[in-house]
Structure 1
């Protein structure tokens, strides 16, 4: 799978609304498409603006009102009863630079098609559910162009101020505000008031495929400590400066990369994950010893005690690296979150729905951050996973079968219906 082409969706194998969903997913996958079957549509880019315009048109054609809030979150709203709050369902359309076409995008389009089906159902029956319905495309979940990740939902939930988000710059110095204006996505207001939230996403791991599970019911997230470090050294000539006189920032950064991996290897059975996903080297010249390296390092675990121990080990290593490489390491940013459960009543609801449909399901945890991990801190939230083939994600060969994404759509539709009808309301 990882060495071959990504299979195309084939709506002809499905009928009616399911075929329509797969057709729309194939269209969505053309925005920012790469030659190897993936997508590149980072937040606020031209491709992101194009797909948002297409998505707005799709929502409006199906009777939804579209609006953008002050941080560029895109909402398609079905107002069934004035003054009522909303069940907010969706994910994100932005991607990593060379990414798979399922991450985030599947959850947004599944949310839209679940909403279309429910709108038609309620119109036919004449029933009015207890809550209004809003489909959401959260801004900058990936954090690849603008840091930190999950920016749109962080502003919506009050975890990040609007001003700090809008003034964040990308590596070229373009602010979030400027990117939103250029992509016609800067709105006003704070978005619809949420009563409940739901999100469906690919697992981005291999456990569900391995265990033959069609629906993962997420019951909690892993904790994460994400840091931005700057390693400060001193520029020098790579040829004439003797080794003993060098203050090599890249050497210090390299030792930090190795330290992160050694910390992960210290803990058994993959209990702690660590990574360094980005390095920016200055001046990045072939004949200059680097004077500065910016890097992002993260630690993750489902066990907060282990995460604390890993964090202690990391900071201990920082001092050792500073001495051995003769550099200074500065922590200039952090983005951390604890282990927090999804509401048990939402977990039970999703399990009941999957069981009623005869679909194999199990409780799982999310190792990655998602917008729903922010939303669950303010409203009851249901998070669902569908399998990822070979666990591949953030990769152009990311793939989930048509049958699995359609199955997920069916379960999500039932979950959203139940939330809109107030099944989780206090009795």
Structure 2
């Protein structure tokens, strides 16, 4: 059920947005209304082609940078810096059709409405507007996630990321070249602000009947890259006492990662093993190697560090008990990030003007805005998710909630384009006064 009656200052925007959103959801569609559009696959290419066509039909300039980020520039003030808005079109395997894609489609339609207002003399912007599809936000085919925006913001090295390979041995650079989206530009050079809208991927807004979430900070995240090494042998002929089964060790690692959460107050730590590769993965062979990726997240970095340290000790105990080698290394560590207080307050003001309910909240998931907030004042907006479900085909958000978000994003962008966050500090890794 839609949480609030849709705010529709321009009803035709809603109709055009919904038609396009539901069309794009057919690209890479799965049998249960999800999508499969992993980064730099043919389905990802087709959504990028659609994005490019949408922009060029309106006379917008489209460019692709050297890590596959796609930018569509709406020139409103020649020579001026740009306000960026967008999200990502890639998906998880058998993922949902809303995650990421909603933010890109909402940004495209908000940009079209902004251009109309400027043309009609209703808005006089100080900046240009750029809609972006960030490359490989999901990190399913190529790890880590939030790849394109992290390269753009300098948090990751472009050459190192271009050399990352998927499970089949294809590099990022090779995959982008194969679909025709390995560009040569570096994207917009002067950025005056960034706004992103996304489904919540949680239950808070739906349960409280609230239309918009104004995100003020993100959780601390850290991953562990884990190898469990044993010895390959025959499942039928090898005595149980002689086995060094890496999969048995991996099973213990998985349970240790899950159970560590029970040692901390409820709701303060989440953890999982989200990826596993087994070798040689034959039905009559004791496995010799298992590769896993564990994910630990909490609002408090101390909790993550304590959980990580306990796990490292327990992995070694499990290795000794099973006569295995377990090697775990830290990677993809992301600190808490804090969005500017002025950007959060801006969302609250816009919501009030549109007659929409709003609340402040955190994001436990990572988003491209987290990276962007390290280089420019950034705004992160949420709309409700039914049952809080995401990264699966059952992911769903009501049309009315999506339309409310498009209107709110349009209003926020109008404010950013006229200097609402000019001079605002964006602390990134430290809370602003009144936050935290």
Name the structure 2 match of 1:181: 177
Name the structure 1 match of 2:90: 94
Q: 1:153 aligns with which of 146, 149, 152?
A: 149
Alpha-carbon distance in structure 2 between the residues aligned to 1:423 and 1:231: 52
Q: Is the 8 A contact 2:312 2:328 kept in 1?
A: no
Q: TM-score, length-normalised on structure 1?
A: 0.95
Q: Is the 8 A contact 2:192 2:422 kept in 1?
A: no
Name the structure 2 match of 1:123: 119
What is the CA deviation profile of residues 334-392 of structure 1, one whole-angstrom value per residue up to 9, with x for unaligned ones?
Answer: 10111121111111111111122221110111111111111111111000000100011
Alpha-carbon distance in structure 2 between the residues aligned to 1:138 and 1:164: 17
Structure 1 range deviating more: 272-281 or 318-327: 318-327
Q: Give structure 1 stretches of 5+ with no counterpart.
A: 2-13
Structure 1 range deviating more: 312-321 or 120-129: 120-129
What SS does structure 2 have at the residue aligned with 1:66?
Answer: strand
Alpha-carbon distance in structure 2 between the residues aligned to 1:346 and 1:249: 49
Structure 2 residue 116 is the aligned partner of structure 1 residue 114: no
What SS does structure 2 have at the residue aligned with 1:226?
Answer: strand
- How much does 1:179 deviate? 1.0
Alpha-carbon distance in structure 2 between the residues aligned to 1:324 and 1:154: 40
Q: 1:374 aligns with which of 371, 375, 383?
A: 371
Alpha-carbon distance in structure 1 between the residues aligned to 2:357 and 2:262: 33
Structure 2 residue 288 is the aligned partner of structure 1 residue 291: yes
Alpha-carbon distance in structure 2 between the residues aligned to 1:180 and 1:333: 28
Structure 2 residue 364 is the aligned partner of structure 1 residue 393: no
Q: Is the 8 A contact 2:83 2:129 kept in 1?
A: yes
Name the structure 2 match of 1:4: none
What SS does structure 1 have at the residue aligned with 2:166?
Answer: coil
Q: Is the 8 A contact 2:202 2:388 kept in 1?
A: yes
- How much does 1:81 deviate? 2.4
Name the structure 2 match of 1:205: 202
- How much does 1:332 deviate? 5.1
Structure 2 residue 408 is the aligned partner of structure 1 residue 411: yes
Structure 2 residue 34 is the aligned partner of structure 1 residue 65: no
Name the structure 2 match of 1:231: 228
Alpha-carbon distance in structure 2 between the residues aligned to 1:327 and 1:361: 52
- How much does 1:399 deviate? 0.3
Q: TM-score, length-normalised on structure 2?
A: 0.93
Name the structure 1 match of 2:332: 335
Name the structure 1 match of 2:6: none
Q: 1:170 aligns with which of 166, 170, 176?
A: 166
How many residue pairs end up in the alignment? 415
Structure 2 residue 246 is the aligned partner of structure 1 residue 259: no
What SS does structure 2 have at the residue aligned with 1:152?
Answer: helix
Q: Is the 8 A contact 2:249 2:318 kept in 1?
A: yes
RMSD: 1.4
What is the CA deviation profile of residues 86-116 of structure 1, one whole-angstrom value per residue up to 9, with x for unaligned ones?
Answer: 1110000000110110000000000110000
What SS does structure 1 have at the residue aligned with 2:133?
Answer: strand
- How much does 1:128 deviate? 3.6
What is the CA deviation profile of residues 160-204 of structure 1, one whole-angstrom value per residue up to 9, with x for unaligned ones?
Answer: 111111111111111111111111111112101322111000000
Q: 1:425 aligns with which of 412, 418, 422?
A: 422
